Amino acid sequence: MPLSVSTCQKIDKAIAKYPAGRKQSAVMAALTMAQEERGWLSPETLREVAEYLEMPPVAVYEVASFYSMYHLKPVGRYVLTLCTNLPCALQGADAAGRYLKETLKIGWGETTQDGVFTLLQGECMGACQEAPVLLANHQRMCCKMTPPQIDALLVQLRTEAAQKERHE
Amino acid sequence: MSAYLDFGPDAVLLAGLTGDNWRLKDYVARGGYSALKKILNERILPEQVLGEIKLSSLRGRGGAGFPTGLKWSFMPRNAPEKYVICNADEGEPGTFKDRDLLRFNPHAVIEGMIIAAYVMGCARGYNYIHGEIWEVYERCEEAVDEARAAGFLGSRILGSDFSFELFNHHGFGAYICGEETALLESIEGKKGQSRYKPPFPANVGLYGKPTTVNNVETFACVPLIVNNGGQWFLDLGRPNAGGTKIFSISGDVERPGNYELRLGTPFAKLLEMAGGVRGGRKLKAVIPGGSSSPVVPGAIMMETDLDYDSVAKAGSMLGSGAVIVMDETRCMVRCLERLSEFYHDESCGQCTPCREGTGWLSRIMHRIEHGEGRPGDIEALDRVAGDIMGRTICAMGDAAAMPVRSFVKHFRSEFEYHIEHRRCQVADHV
Amino acid sequence: MSETVIDKSGWLNLEINGKPVQMPPGSTVMDAAQTLKVFIPHFCYHKKLSLAASCRMCLVQVEKIPKPVPACATPVSEGMKVWTRSEVALAAQQSVMEFLLINHPLDCPVCDQGGECQLQDVAVGYGKGCSQYQEIKRVVPGKDLGPLVSAAEMSRCIQCTRCVRFGDEIAGQMELGLIRRGDRVEIVPFVGETVESELSGNMIDLCPVGALTSKPFRYQARSWELSRRRSVSPHDALGANLIVQLKRNQVVRVQPFENEAINECWLSDRDRFSYEALNSEARLTRPLVKKDGVLIEADWQEALPLAAARLQNIIERDGGEALGVLISPHATLEEAALMSRLARALGCDNIDHRLRQQDFSQDSKNVSWLGMPIADVSQLKAALFVGSFLRHDQPLLTARVRQAARHGAAISSLHSVRADWHLPLLYENVVPPSQLVTALAALVVAAHRETKATQALPAAFNEVTPTEKDTAIVRTLLAAPERAAIFLGSFAQQHEHAALLHALAQRLADDTGAILGVLPEAANSVGLALTGAQPQKGAQKGGLNARTMLEQPRKAYVLLHTEAPFDVAQGSAALTALRQADFVLSLSPFRPAEEGASLNALPDIVLPDIVLPIAPFTETSGTFINMEGRVQSFHGVAPPLGETRPGWQVIAALAGLLDQPFAETTPEAVRASCVPSADSVKARLSNRADTVLQALPKAAQKTVERVAAVPIYQADPLVRRAPSLQRTALAALPKVAMNAALAARLNLIKGGAVRIRQGNHAGENEVTAVLSWICDETLPANTVRFDMAHPLTAGFDVYGEFHLEATP
């Protein structure tokens, strides 16, 4: 299945940011768009991106495996990445992590049975004044994640997920 | 409009920002883009602008503190294709100032980049934005569009002969891309693996062309220097360290946040602005310049001023100005374990000492923290860290080694206790 | 080589370990150390690859620099003082060594690389002898990289990335990468893929540890058990220099002998792995004689007199012209020279080695060659290849062209297929085979216009209009005086208008100042042309050439290393000719095709009447003359297998029995009598065409045209029988390729197959094959590609009419 038209348009927009003949510079953006469309990057998707950008597939694989926010295995609808680095840890991240694991009944790197959440440990997100920091699907930054805040977020995302499911 | 955010009384970079007034019209209302207009309208020569930057004694705000004017002067004059890059890949644990600058005042950075491009003769620039701050990336996309629409970016800016295009590049989760040559590799669509130097980016940079990379805060200072003069900026700080500096204070303080201080302000003052140690507890240790800088015992830190030379005298580095505060209840073993894990996670894997050494350090730290320490571990930590230092392609090796050596140096008894008793000396865990 | 005086003004003075040395600017400390023969340990550094500076093994101390620096990436400067064994340097080297070993298995006794491992050697010289590392070692799963390169033990990998850089930079195909980061990095191919490059074996040599090893050689021997002897590759006309390695007199491995002028430090996979055929079941160890239609093993005492008698009978009955001698261009010079001498003594001038050529009208005395030294190809600034299957025909020359391209050379191709050379082409013109002449003529016209050359073109050229692309190609040639070349590839040489193409290329070269080069087809094409293994010009009654020998069937044929129909263009004509002959004598190291396991798909093979087992290149002395005219003689490296005898001895014995005894009785004497001196070679090498440009032919009216390459692993009898090479992707079954429009016209359905039919004169002896087909939009209109020399396709006449039809 080829990448969707809108994904391709976004990739084209990214390609246009770089000088002529430097398509490869758009590979991170292209992988980001492809992951947004498909949730994760399968070998097939990597190959499509490689073809689109005229890169050797293994070079795309290198990039996709190097940056921590690309997923080379299937993940839940929402990937929750909690920063557990030192500044966040000093400001409650350990407790937030324990709470998330207990509430979702999964460990780091795991996905809930219903496929809604994947829980990851992250490194510094550059927002330590608002620790603990959690990133939802790599885009939405959620700050000061105390247990009530976490509860609220989970409820909201579950509702969104249910709506999306109905749509699909 | 919401209330001004409190960045301290000395703030010039962050002064007047509310969180809502980031748009171009707001920036222009604050006097924004006047520096660029002045340069182009008055036909001020690049060398003159460079002279002011040199006079200001502005030093790179990303961590290394290299004099900005000198860096710009390394760019070859007549190369046909040159690049200016903003390093907004703010991933050094404890650092969160660039995010605030970009979300609250993106046009100051854009204007700074345009002026830098003018001085160095670059026709194209990129702003490499940390992967985890997608919302900031989107805001920067909007801001660049605004600037382009207003004629501050594009061809023949403000009717002059000067043309410059600027684009945002979004990272995707690699600390190493904060290292400037890894960042260049990343823009080229490769893994973020540092390049060996020489050649330096000023000669062989992005796409093999002359390139200068500066930090977000460094660029944000530039319009102020142009508007107010180099001497004004120098006078804000200390000789050899002009200007104000944004300090990101986090950890065990009452009010973690960004505070903009004149360089040379005592650390005690910063701690006071942040509301002191949380819960009124005693200060144990401070990492003054981001997680890579050596840790300093609290008592020494309370006697130290915040400028490049003073912090160096205290045995550490001013670095990115990220101040991580740890109170008396903190276990230094646990703190170092987490940092070692971070460097193990983030090593790019390219060069041997860092690839193998960070894993080795992390594994020893993990054992000690989990009650499986062995005699000789402390010596091994120090030796392995020493064997990494100075032998890697980029500064990441040193960044991983320095915390280890300093934690062991200043808090050796805690490590010994952990190994001997297989548990923590300090009651509370992080 | 002659001594050249080097101007050292502007060179920099430095000291390494107190020894002064002068180096040109831009050199590195590593270069300087090598000049002084000071060894600095290293892993990632390799002189032919880009710098990585990542292993950190070559850290050395430099005065005034506080930290140790990598010798490989540190440029020399005036007054620099370097210490490679100082306390600072040694401490750095020892710590790096310890880091490299913490995750490396220390089970050297069971490692295939043991004894020839750079890591092992450097650890002994520069390591500490012990480590404090007490943690768990990393385990990296093995990878399947295909039949040639073993990556079964990737835990041994030290991430030097030489293999990755080799693929990207030398092979032009990035098939391996280093994924993930930190100490989780791994060398991998793309998910589910293997390494398919025709140069892949070099990764084995490059790998400094036991991570990438030779799959065929794996655990066959320890390095110290091997005897090593020099030889020359018998495949393409590069003449790559080999170190053939033997255990108990059997070849078990082939590695490059470094020769900067020829193969540098590389080998193509067929140079490296074809040795497997030498030890295979396909080898013939005793003569075979046909009795009642079946080949039966016989003694030399029986077979040789019988062969002589049958030849004698036919010559006495029908004269020498009744004989045809087909010599493989892979035969040694000595074999070919003696065979030609014998044939002529018997009154036969029907001798040829140009087995795939069909246009012999350019009957020049000159011997075609590369036109320049091989090494100069890397330095070209512009090159136009006309009808070349470059990567399959000359894999290592392709690597040279790739280097030139990497340094900015403008490479263009005029051909009937898209070039798959893994290098950036500036311009490419793909035309049907019948329009190749016109397309080249258009370039000639473009050059004529661009240069305003005074010598007018014949009137026929008035009708040729060059395109903008033609003009652009000509300009790349004009822009690089003395560094531009035009090369005629195998497809041009085998074209029905080969002489005209040659003449056109000559004119283009004359008008642009480019050098004209011809890419010889096989290991000894140049040598055999020099030695006269073709009809003698000027003789009163010129003999038949390879084509006419088959089109005008002879009573008897002698095949020297030749496998008809694989080695000839007219497959079905060859089958017919051999079938009707009274006597076919084959001299070959191998059993006839029918009995070779991988070749038995060919129907109705013609069995020779007698097969005499002669030695392959490893078991006889011999000489090849390569594409640059370099005479390369070699010794046998192994004793002949079984009752095999060197070809020259067998021919000499045959000559004796035919009352035409040779005076020479030793290899030295044979060599002295037939190997030309370097000077006489030089005198005869020239690509100057003597065809006069006049009319241009009208394109033949064929409904469907064919373009066919010789697949890289079907090019000679040796590679055809090399089992590992036959398992590679490049040895896959031939397919029929064409564009969608033609497929639609033929009513082909996706996933279906095509039946190819070729009638042999009046519909008799029809040849057919059923192949799967693929769509290839890069092919010109009405052109299909299916390659020759494969068991499924060898029976077709390459240039004959054929019919295609859909078949389920």
- pLDDT one-digit tens code per residue, C612-653: 999 999 999 999 999 999 999 999 999 999 999 999 999 999
Residue B1 has pLDDT above 60, yes or no: no
Burial C691-726 (b: 16+ CB within 10 A, else e): bebeebeeeeeeebbbbbbbbbbbbbbbbbbbbbbb
Cα separation, A147 vs A97, in Å, equals 10
Residue C375 has pLDDT above 50, yes or no: yes
Cα separation, C726 vs C711, in Å, equals 11
3-state secondary structure chain B: CCCCCCCCCCCCCCCCCCCCCCCHHHHHHCCCCHHHHHHHHCCCCHHHHHHHHHHHCCECCCCCCCEHHHHHHCCCCCCCCCEEEEEECCCCCCCCHHHHHHHHCHHHHHHHHHHHHHHHCCCEEEEEECCCCHHHHHHHHHHHHHHHHCCCCECCHHHCCCCEEEEEEECCCCHHHHCHHHHHHHHCCCCCCCCCCCCCCCCCCHHHCCEEEEEHHHHHHHHHHHHHCHHHHHHHCECCECCEEEEEEEECECCCEEEEEECCEEHHHHHHHCCCEHHHCCEEEEEECECCCCCEEHHHHCCCEECHHHHHHCCCCCCCCEEEEEECCCCHHHHHHHHHHHHHHHCCCCCHHHHHHHHHHHHHHHHHHCCCCCCCHHHHHHHHHHHHCCCCCCCHHHHHHHHHHHHHHHCHHHHHHHHHHCCCCCCCCC
Cα separation, B131 vs B173, in Å, equals 5
Nearest residue to C338 via CA among C661, C622, C651? C651
Residue C599 has pLDDT above 50, yes or no: no
Confidence at C601, pLDDT banded by 50, 70, 90: very low
Question: Which residue is closest to B191 within chain A, CA to CA?
Answer: A63
Q: Supply C367's token pair.
A: 């011997």
Residue C598's pLDDT is 40
B309: number of Cβ within 10 Å: 16
Residue C3's pLDDT is 54
Residue C538's pLDDT is 55
Question: Which residue is closest to B192 within chain C, CA to CA?
Answer: C181
User: What integer best gives the mean pLDDT of chain A?
Assistant: 96
Q: What count of residues does chain C have? A: 808
Mean pLDDT of A102-129: 97
Cα separation, C754 vs C752, in Å, equals 7
Confidence at C761, pLDDT banded by 50, 70, 90: low
pLDDT in tens, C274-283: 999 999 999 9
Least confident piece of the model among B246-250, B360-364, C754-758: C754-758
Assess C169–A contact: CB distance below 8 Å, yes or no. Answer: no
Preferred mutation among B326, B340, B430 to probe A, highest tally of A CBs within 10 A: B430
Residue C25's pLDDT is 96
Q: What count of residues does chain A have? A: 168
Query: Looking at the partner chain, which of C54, C135, C138 has a beta carbon nearest the beta carbon of B351?
Result: C54
Cα separation, C612 vs A113, in Å, equals 73
Phi, psi for residue B4 in degrees, rounded to 5? -60, 140
Residue B207 has pLDDT above 60, yes or no: yes
Assess C424–A contact: CB distance below 8 Å, yes or no. Answer: no
Confidence at C131, pLDDT banded by 50, 70, 90: confident
Residue C763, beta-bridge partner list = none
The answer to whether the Cα torsion of C747, C748, C749, C754 is positive or negative is positive
Residue C703's pLDDT is 82
**CB–CB contact C53 B198 (8 Å):** no
**CB–CB contact A61 C192 (8 Å):** no
Q: Specify whether the CB–CB gap between C242 and C257 falls below 8 A.
A: yes
**CB–CB contact C54 B376 (8 Å):** no
Residue C128's pLDDT is 84
Residue C364's pLDDT is 75
Order of strands, sheet of A78-83, starting from the edge strand that comes earlier in the sequence: A117-122, A78-83, A134-136, A140-142
| Structure-derived torsion over alpha carbons of residues A90, A92, A95, A99, reported in degrees to the nearest 10 | -150
Query: Looking at the partner chain, which of C173, C177, C193 has a beta carbon nearest the beta carbon of A62?
Result: C177
Question: Which residue is closest to A68 within chain C, CA to CA?
Answer: C180
Cα separation, C548 vs C351, in Å, equals 11
Residue B242's pLDDT is 87
Q: What is the pTM of this model?
A: 0.96
Residue C539 has pLDDT above 60, yes or no: no
Confidence at C572, pLDDT banded by 50, 70, 90: confident
Residue C7's pLDDT is 86
d(CA B143, nearest CA chain C) in Å = 34
Cα separation, A124 vs A57, in Å, equals 30
Residue C763 has pLDDT above 60, yes or no: no
| Structure-derived torsion over alpha carbons of residues B253, B255, B260, B261, reported in degrees to the nearest 10 | -50
User: What integer best gives the mean pLDDT of chain C?
Assistant: 94
Mean pLDDT of C719-747: 95
**CB–CB contact C177 A47 (8 Å):** no
Q: Supply B217's token pair.
A: 């805060």
Residue C540's pLDDT is 58
Q: Specify whether the CB–CB gap between C203 and C195 falls below 8 A.
A: yes
Neighbours of chain C (3+ CB pairs under 8 A): A, B
Assess C188–A contact: CB distance below 8 Å, yes or no. Answer: yes
Residue C1 has pLDDT above 50, yes or no: no
**In chain C, which residues have their Cβ closer than 8 Å to the Cβ of B376?**
132
Nearest residue to B17 via CA among B141, B102, B139? B102
Helix (H) or strand (E) segment spanning residue C475: helix C468-478
Residue C600's pLDDT is 40
Residue C603 has pLDDT above 60, yes or no: no
Residue B427's pLDDT is 61
Residue C2's pLDDT is 45
Residue C4's pLDDT is 67
Preferred mutation among C97, C103, C132, C158 to probe B, highest tally of B CBs within 10 A: C132
Cα separation, B360 vs C133, in Å, equals 8
**In chain B, which residues have their Cβ closer than 8 Å to the Cβ of A26?**
189
Confidence at A10, pLDDT banded by 50, 70, 90: very high
Mean pLDDT of A89-93: 96
For strand C59-62 and strand C80-83, is the pairing parallel, antiparallel, or unpaired? antiparallel
Residue B223's pLDDT is 98
Confidence at C762, pLDDT banded by 50, 70, 90: low
